[in-house]
Amino acid sequence: MQMNRREFLTSAALAPLVTLPFVGSAHAAARWDRTVILVELSGGNDGLNTVVPYTDSGYYSLRPNIAVAKETVLQLDERLGLAKELEPIMPLWNQGNLAVALGVGYPEPNLSHFRGIEIWDTATDSSDFAQSGWIGQLYEGVEAPPAEFAADGMVFGRGVFGPLKAPGRRVMVLQNIGQLDAAALLPSIAPAPGMEGGMAVDPNPLAHVLGVQQDFKSGAAAILAKGVENVDAKASFPEGNFGLQMEMAAKMIAGGVQVPVIKVTLGGFDTHAAQLDEHPLLHAELAAGLRGFSDSMKAHGMWDDVLVMTYAEFGRRPKENGSGGTDHGTSAPHFLMGGRVKGGLYGEQPPLDALVNRDNLQHRLHFRSLYATVAQEWWGMDASFLNAAPLGAIA
């Protein structure tokens, strides 16, 4: 039997890495016709100034200089409201397509950017380690996307694989669609025997180079075959890299490119100082990009086929610091949106009068519940390895 590079790695090389208990299942095939857009809010979004507890006097006393004014919030209910710069996504809330998961975090939170995002990316407990990201684990342990797909996942912007990191996975990193033209110039070089590399984390650099080269050629061919460069997104996107990433995601999906996951990133959320200068701009950019994407999907009749989910390494400290900013914190709210999303609030807002772990917010919802929602409710896969209940947020 001839194995391709990916099969070879998943069957043989990976076995020792997998520590999580997977249950081999007789599940129906996953819904690979559905795509997830993962939106990383890099730097750690300040949740309290995003979903604002506008009736809580504790909020205003913790933040005398940087609180969001009560009269400006866009009300979600009688206690919580979105910062006004998020206005472009309010229609999604009103249509019942925006779920807001409150108090998302995990026990024994780590306040490092880098260890924090590693915990989120690999879905481990705070003190455990895993080589592969949670999507990679899902592919390895439950079901992998069909081989004819353009890629196992795409990463737009800076090429950090995060949840998609896993040996042997075909991950397309793209800055813009024009880059795909370069594929025609690249020769195919078959890796030497014994050097069948996997591109995502292959430790052998030559095997890695050759694997990337091969995956780029095949991925680019699959994408270009759909004429993606000529797809009209039928929506407008904000200036800047995030808008570009969301527009590319829209074009890929509207063009019919087969890919289960697209990861995009908006950075700059590490607002230690002068937060009022930066954070509202980030919200505006985020909301305009998300709105452009939903407009595009609706215009193409594909809003029911996509699920958008935000995540970040942590939230921020409830009490402002002396520089008009906020230091690293723990839990935060996150968004899920899409045509099949059952809008509303999930989890509960952590109380400001019961801070824990040195003045930080309690978490009320494990982040793995969000992942279980994606795996089980969205893709119809066995998500038992995540050991968390899905939200019940997908119709």
Partner 1 sequence: MAIPTTDEIRHLAARTGLGTPTQSEMNGLAGLTYDQAMDRLLGGFTGKAVMAPPDWMSVPPARRTANMTQAEKQAIQRQQGANSRDLKGWWYSEMLNTTSTFTESMTLFWHNHFTSSLKKVKTPNLLFEQNATLRTHALGNFADMLRAMTFDPAMMKYLDTVNSKAGAPNENFARELMELFTLGEGQGYTEDDIREAARAFTGWGYTADRELILRPQSHDNDTKSFFGRSGNFDGNDIIDILLEQPRVAVHITEKLWRHFVSATPNSAEISRLATLFRDSAYELKPLMRAMLTSDTFRDPANKGTLVKSPTELVAGTLRLVGFIPPDPTGLLAQGRNLGQDLFDPPNVKGWPGGVNWINTAALPARYEWLRSISDAIDQVTAPVRGGVNPVAQMSRASRRIFGEGLKADEAAAFFGMPPALMAELMLPIPRAASPGTTGAKNAVGALLLDPVFQLK
Block residue for tokens 């989890």: 347
Q: If we measure between CA atoms, which residue out of 247, 375, 253 comes closest to residue 304?
A: 253
Backbone dihedral angles phi then psi of residue 101, each to the nearest 5 degrees: -90, 125
In which region does residue 3 sit, left (phi positive, over 0), alpha (psi from -120 to 50) or beta (all else)? Answer: beta
Block residue for tokens 């009022």: 276
Block residue for tokens 């809003």: 303
β pairing state of 332-337 and 344-347: unpaired
> Cβ closer to partner 1: 75 or 175?
175
How far apart are CB 154 and partner 1 at their closest, in Å? 9
How far apart are CB 225 and partner 1 at their closest, in Å? 16
> Cβ closer to partner 1: 141 or 325?
325
Contact 386, 372 (CB under 8 A): yes
How far apart are CB 37 and partner 1 at their closest, in Å? 18
Q: Considering all CA atoms of the chain, what is the largest pairwise distance in Å, rounded to the nearest integer?
A: 68
Block residue for tokens 């921020």: 316
Specify the length of the chain in residues.
395
How far apart are CB 313 and partner 1 at their closest, in Å? 11
Which three-class secondary structure state does DSSP give residue 226?
coil
List contacts with partner 1 (CB under 8 A): 42-43, 110-115, 155, 158-160, 171-175, 179, 182-183, 185-189, 192, 199, 201-206, 208-210, 212-213, 215-216, 219-220, 267, 270, 272-274, 319-325, 327-328, 357-358
How far apart are CB 373 and partner 1 at their closest, in Å? 28
> Cβ closer to partner 1: 171 or 374?
171
> Cβ closer to partner 1: 35 or 241?
241
Alpha-carbon distance of 48 to 116, in angstroms, equals: 19
How far apart are CB 158 and partner 1 at their closest, in Å? 6
- Report the side by side order of strands in the sheet with 51-53: 51-53, 80-82, 74-75
> Cβ closer to partner 1: 26 or 190?
190
> Cβ closer to partner 1: 92 or 171?
171
DSSP state of 76: S
Instruction: Indicate if the alpha-carbon torsion angle 184, 223, 299, 244 is positive or negative.
Output: negative
> Cβ closer to partner 1: 71 or 127?
127
Alpha-carbon distance of 15 to 231, in angstroms, equals: 41
How far apart are CB 172 and partner 1 at their closest, in Å? 5
> Cβ closer to partner 1: 81 or 325?
325
How far apart are CB 314 and partner 1 at their closest, in Å? 12
